[in-house]
A and B are shown apart, each in its own frame.
Chain A
Amino acid sequence: MESSIVEKIIREIEQYAPKNESEHVGRVTAVGDGVVAIDGLSKAVMSEIVIFEEGKGKPLSDTMEVRAELYGLILNLEEDGVRASILGDSARVSEGMTVKSTGRILSVPSGDELLGRVVNALGEPIDGKGPFKNVTFMQVERQASGVMDRKGVSVPLQTGIKAIDSMIPIGRGQRELIIGDRSTGKTTVAIDTIINQRNEPKEKRPICIYVAVGQKESKTARIVEQLREAGALEYTIVVDAPASAPAALQFLAPFSGAAIGEFFMDRGQDVLVIYDDLSKQAVAYRQLSLLLRRPPGREAYPGDIFYLHSRLLERAARLSDERGGGSLTALPIIETQEGDVSAYIPTNVISITDGQIFLDASLFNKGVLPAIDVGISVSRVGSSAQTKSMKSVAGGLKLELAQFRDLEAFMQFAQDLDKETADRIASGMRMVEVLKQKNGQPLPLESQVVILYAATHKFFADVPVSQVTAVEKQFVEYMDGQHAKTLAEIRTSAVVSDESKKELNRAMEEFKLAHADLFTPAK
């Protein structure tokens, strides 16, 4: 063992060819709040990575103790110097410190080795599982694919959430915003979507990237654990820029996530990236911009805040067959204050994305989970990607729910309502119950289709509202056990054939006969 180390050192010494090359440098003239002013570096370019030289004047032994180099990112080019943000602990930077130019634009590692790992915004592993060995470096700031490199969204991305897959379908390559107040289940929708990808065949399963921006470390740790327990971590990469990380890293993390995803997309694979959340990224960018003395605009955000999000989300794409046919689906998350979707950042991101899933705090408080307000949620391109089987069962669902919401207010006058209105309210209440779903329990497509087929064929009409969820669960179990063939057919063919419809009708009748006690005819 010892001799091998000695041999290794000898080999390194023999291979080492000292070069006394001239390096392009500058000097720190001011440092504060994670931002440094550097005198010199006149040849530096925007977004270039610089290295702070920490060893000057220190003995070799002290310099050797510094395990990782301290990097900076150039964000402002000025007349007599540059301004950069420190990508690490700013306490390590002092005035007069030499800063070396690298000529490198910020890049992050990507590759199969990253699957199942947790990395920071620079792509460095932070899960204690050791460094990466065989990775490809991807530029963090990359131009989005052009028109000729893209094709339309046509393949569905199943979230496993009935309300979304049926009424707000998402396609691979789409950008669908998840928006809502704090604690309304935004992250849950995103995590369930990741977990649901385990139901996809391995060759079609998207690589999932969860980017945590400005989140509590405890929350991210819980999510990683949840993914691990669900067996979803093996196809997931977590990029973590916690609330304690410098603003520069929080601003960079979504771009790093996109860059990591683009590696897989370029390889022809499908990728799902979740940005949780872009409001915190905007706040970090505002902080950075103010420290860089860029002029503040509305709500003190800098003038290019729209461009920050548009250039990030434009990187979501479905590539043409010539480019390998890969895709990158983006699910950005935005947190609203008191449900105000007309605030600056929410309206910006709504206008950039291809639709939004709005989570309503009042629905959440009523126990309607996921608390999706289908009235104002929309998917602009996803319907073309929806499977025929889902389309056939979910066609009138949105309208029915919208009518129910309108009539809901009259529920307190239930005694005086005409039969048609009363029936519609009763049906709507059951439909709301059917669409309820516990977190961490995404459903495969065929189960969703079966449930919605049953619901739209008045299967639950005789079930008390409070029992609908339980009956639904039993029915799915019954179908799994007794009619697995029908489920398999729906899954593989992605349509509900006449034969399957007959089978489903028969299964519903059989179940009703076997569980007559669960069905109490309405009075």
Chain B
Amino acid sequence: MENAYAQALWNIIKGGKEPTEAVHALHEQLKKSGRVSLAPRIARAFERIAARDHARNAVTLAVAEAGHGHHGQKEAAALGIDVADAIINIDPTLIGGWRLEARETLVDASYKKHLLAIYRATTNA
């Protein structure tokens, strides 16, 4: 039940309602239906939805070594991807290059991917 309340609250706020107002209205509704005890659980469910949404919309740029982020950002921008707010992660398994993950987009320009492609082409040929 708390998930449904949290999702409804999320949708209302996403729809443009003031968060304080929305929370107040929800509290009143819970009071009316005798479900105030659900409030802490609704808060935790809301937190989970927010975290999921953040992760879903976050733009992550992974590079093999610290300091390579700038280079990756430049190349990604050249492909027309907005990486201004990208979170930069260090992933040494990439060997070199960069890998960008956004909502439904993936650009893998890592050396690992290219080496793997050559390996597969050679062994399958």
Evaluate contact between B105 and A13: CB separation under 8 angstroms: no
Mark out the residues of chain A between 400 and 446 whose CB falls within 8 Å of any chain B CB in the assembled complex.
Answer: none
Contact of A23 among B105, B121, B125 (CB under 8 A): B105
Interface string of B77-101 (1 = CB under 8 A from A): 0010100000000010101000001
Shortest Cβ gap from A132 to chain B (Å): 12
CA distance A8 to B123 in the complex (A): 10
Please name the residue on chain B nearest to A39 by beta carbon. Answer: B56
CA distance A363 to B118 in the complex (A): 62
**A146 beta carbon closer than 8 Å to chain B:** no
For A454, the chain B residues whose CB sits under 8 A away are none
Please name the residue on chain B nearest to A29 by beta carbon. Answer: B52
State which of B13-21, B27-35, B36-44, B106-114 sits at the interface with chain A: B106-114
**A9 beta carbon closer than 8 Å to chain B:** yes
Evaluate contact between B107 and A21: CB separation under 8 angstroms: yes
CA distance A141 to B31 in the complex (A): 54
Per DSSP, chain A at the interface is mixed
**A365 beta carbon closer than 8 Å to chain B:** no
What bracket does the count of chain A residues touching chain B fall in? 20 to 34
Evaluate contact between B105 and A24: CB separation under 8 angstroms: yes
**A72 beta carbon closer than 8 Å to chain B:** no
What bracket does the count of chain B residues touching chain A fall in? 20 to 34
Shortest Cβ gap from A70 to chain B (Å): 14
Shortest Cβ gap from A103 to chain B (Å): 14
Total of A-B residue pairs, C-beta within 8 Å: 65
CA distance A21 to B117 in the complex (A): 14
Evaluate contact between B106 and A25: CB separation under 8 angstroms: yes
Contact of B115 among A22, A57, A60 (CB under 8 A): A60
**A26 beta carbon closer than 8 Å to chain B:** yes
Shortest Cβ gap from A505 to chain B (Å): 66
CA distance A405 to B82 in the complex (A): 82
CA distance A88 to B81 in the complex (A): 34
Interface string of A301-337 (1 = CB under 8 A from B): 0000000000000000000000000000000000000
Q: Decide: A24 near B93, CB < 8 A? Known: A12-B121, A16-B117.
A: no
Q: Decide: A23 near B106, CB < 8 A? Known: A12-B125, A39-B56, A57-B93.
A: yes
CA distance A131 to B124 in the complex (A): 9
CA distance A57 to B79 in the complex (A): 24
Q: Decide: A60 near B104, CB < 8 A? Known: A12-B118, A18-B114, A55-B116.
A: no
For B65, the chain A residues whose CB sits under 8 A away are none
Contact of A58 among B81, B93, B108 (CB under 8 A): B93
Shortest Cβ gap from A24 to chain B (Å): 6
Interface string of A162-202 (1 = CB under 8 A from B): 00000000000000000000000000000000000000000
Contact of B79 among A9, A22, A25, A41 (CB under 8 A): A22
Evaluate contact between B119 and A100: CB separation under 8 angstroms: no
**B2 beta carbon closer than 8 Å to chain A:** no
Interface residues of A (CB under 8 A from B): 8-9, 12-13, 16, 18, 20-27, 39-43, 55, 57-60, 63-64, 98, 100, 131
A-B contact list, 28 entries, CB within 8 Å: A9-B118, A9-B122, A12-B118, A16-B118, A16-B121, A18-B114, A20-B107, A20-B109, A21-B107, A22-B107, A23-B107, A24-B104, A24-B105, A26-B104, A39-B56, A40-B56, A40-B104, A42-B104, A43-B104, A57-B93, A58-B93, A60-B95, A60-B112, A60-B116, A63-B112, A63-B116, A64-B116, A98-B106
Q: Given A20-B107, A22-B81, list of 16 further CB < 8 A pairs?
A: A8-B122, A9-B122, A20-B75, A21-B107, A22-B106, A24-B104, A24-B106, A25-B104, A40-B56, A40-B104, A41-B104, A55-B116, A57-B91, A60-B93, A64-B119, A98-B101
